[in-house]
């Protein structure tokens, strides 16, 4: 009997999934377009292929007679995983669900048709149409690719010049259909929430309030994860998110959603049928909630029953807090000469993961999207007070020296 499992892509965010599969005795083959991807060294092998080319991925997958084709923390892999799994007769969320959970216009249409809270929105194939819709709306908007990821091609729009300047940059990240989504800009705090749908029902996992970069209001700089909040009704957010997922008819899947709060309502910004990126699924969920979401994903993909208590928030974890913070060098420009504090990050018990995308000798450039942030750290503490103290220690200890 085959023990092969195919994972795509080969980014560092897939490493925890590959490691879990290896611990469970599977042979892992990673598919990705690029050489030297970090997940390769944890797998049994890899193949170079464009993961958006479903037919070619299927052709290569057949060579391995896989038990499953899998991914996590990656939006763009969702349609390929769904289609290839269907063709191989393996567990799949199906193409209809894959499109609904990656096409931002379909998400908006679904919300509108089902009476859910949603911003005004327009699908625009040309710059001229985008300008016309912006004028008709008469307020601040946001322009984004139809099915992009990592905040690439996402821009705030406050005047026609913003559209003229950024339209081509936005539309180039739309993959399935060359158009952009222009939608009402929802002011207020932004949140993320993960969850898991199983045959036992839908379960909420890690929930965070976000802070954005000072010079980019559409890009996350820090996420603070807690079970409850004194100012915002997290139970309402859980209920709002669960209602959306249940109405879609998703039978199984990890979900990661982003919402903004305005006028007493949580507005869905977008939702994916995958775990939260930047190790929210692979690291934060288990440390914060006790739910091993990727283990549940592996169980489902390989035909094992998911037990109800495996996807339930552990009560004594509800006081825990976590942080996902991206290092920020502000407006500095130049060459990195030193990175201080690495030993502290390695030895601090609460630090669960950290990574620097730049090294000594690299030239620092302005953060434009989720693909070129400087690096991150993840910490999980027993209380918010402990977490706040740790944040101060990291700020005081970790220094990026630039000349």
pLDDT digits (tens, 9 = 90+) for 281-305: 999 999 999 999 999 999 999 999 8
pLDDT digits (tens, 9 = 90+) for 85-144: 999 999 999 999 999 999 999 999 999 999 999 899 999 999 999 999 999 999 999 999
The model's confidence at residue 1, banded by pLDDT at 50, 70 and 90, is low
The reply to whether CATH 3.40.630.30 applies to domain 188-318 is: no
pLDDT of residue 309: 83
User: Is the pLDDT reported for residue 280 higher than 80?
Assistant: yes
How would CATH label the architecture of 4-92? 3-Layer(aba) Sandwich (3.40)
| The CATH number, out of the four listed (3.30.300.30, 3.20.20.70, 3.30.1490.20, 3.20.20.150), of the domain defined by the range 120-184 | 3.30.1490.20
Query: Do the domains spanning 4-92 and 120-184 agree at the CATH topology level?
Result: no
Residue for token pair 């994916």: 272
pLDDT digits (tens, 9 = 90+) for 153-173: 999 999 999 999 999 999 999
The model's confidence at residue 329, banded by pLDDT at 50, 70 and 90, is confident
Percent of the chain's residues with pLDDT above 70: 99
What CA–CA distance (Å, rounded) separates 140 from 379? Answer: 35
pLDDT of residue 144: 94
Q: At what angle do helices 160-171 and 127-137 cross, to 10 degrees?
A: 140
The domain segmentation of the chain, as residue ranges, is 4-92, 120-184, 188-318, 323-403
Closest CA to 287 of 201, 384, 391, 382: 382
Region 323-403: CATH code: 3.30.470.20
pLDDT digits (tens, 9 = 90+) for 170-183: 999 998 889 999 99
């Amino acid at each position: 009997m085959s023990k092969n499992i195919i994972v795509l892509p080969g980014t560092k965010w897939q490493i925890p999934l590959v490691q879990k599969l290896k611990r469970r005795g599977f042979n892992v083959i990673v598919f990705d377009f690029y050489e030297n991807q970090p997940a390769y060294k944890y797998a049994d092998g890899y193949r170079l292929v464009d993961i958006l080319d479903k037919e070619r991925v299927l052709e290569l997958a057949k060579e391995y007679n896989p038990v499953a084709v899998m991914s996590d923390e990656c939006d763009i892999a969702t349609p390929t995983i769904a289609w290839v799994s269907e063709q191989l007769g393996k567990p799949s969320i199906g193409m209809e669900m894959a499109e609904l959970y990656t096409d931002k216009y379909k998400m908006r249409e679904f919300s509108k048709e089902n009476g859910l809270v949603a911003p005004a929105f327009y699908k625009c194939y040309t710059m001229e149409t985008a300008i016309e819709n912006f004028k008709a709306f008469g307020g601040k908007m946001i322009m984004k690719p139809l099915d992009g990821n990592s905040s690439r091609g996402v821009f705030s729009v406050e005047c026609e010049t913003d559209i003229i300047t950024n339209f081509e940059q936005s539309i180039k990240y739309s993959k399935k259909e060359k158009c952009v989504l222009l939608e009402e800009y929802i002011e207020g705090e932004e949140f993320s929430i993960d969850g898991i749908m199983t045959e036992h029902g839908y379960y909420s996992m890690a929930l965070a309030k976000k802070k954005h970069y000072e010079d980019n209001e559409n890009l996350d700089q820090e996420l603070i994860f807690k079970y409850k909040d004194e100012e915002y009704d997290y139970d309402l957010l859980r209920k709002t998110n669960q209602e959306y997922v249940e109405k879609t008819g998703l039978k199984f899947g990890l979900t990661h959603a982003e919402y903004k709060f305005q006028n007493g309502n949580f507005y869905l910004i977008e939702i994916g049928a995958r775990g939260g990126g930047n190790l929210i699924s692979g690291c934060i969920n288990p440390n914060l909630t006790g739910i091993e979401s990727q283990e549940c994903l592996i169980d489902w993909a390989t035909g094992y029953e998911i037990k109800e208590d495996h996807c339930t928030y552990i009560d004594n974890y509800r006081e825990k807090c976590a942080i996902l913070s991206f290092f920020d060098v502000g407006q500095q420009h130049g060459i990195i000469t030193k990175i201080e504090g690495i030993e502290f990050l390695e030895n601090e018990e609460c630090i669960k993961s950290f990574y620097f995308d730049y090294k000594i000798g690299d030239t620092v450039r302005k953060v434009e999207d989720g693909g070129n942030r400087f690096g991150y750290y993840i910490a999980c503490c027993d209380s918010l007070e402990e977490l706040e103290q740790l944040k101060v220690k990291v700020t005081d200890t970790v220094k990026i020296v630039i000349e």
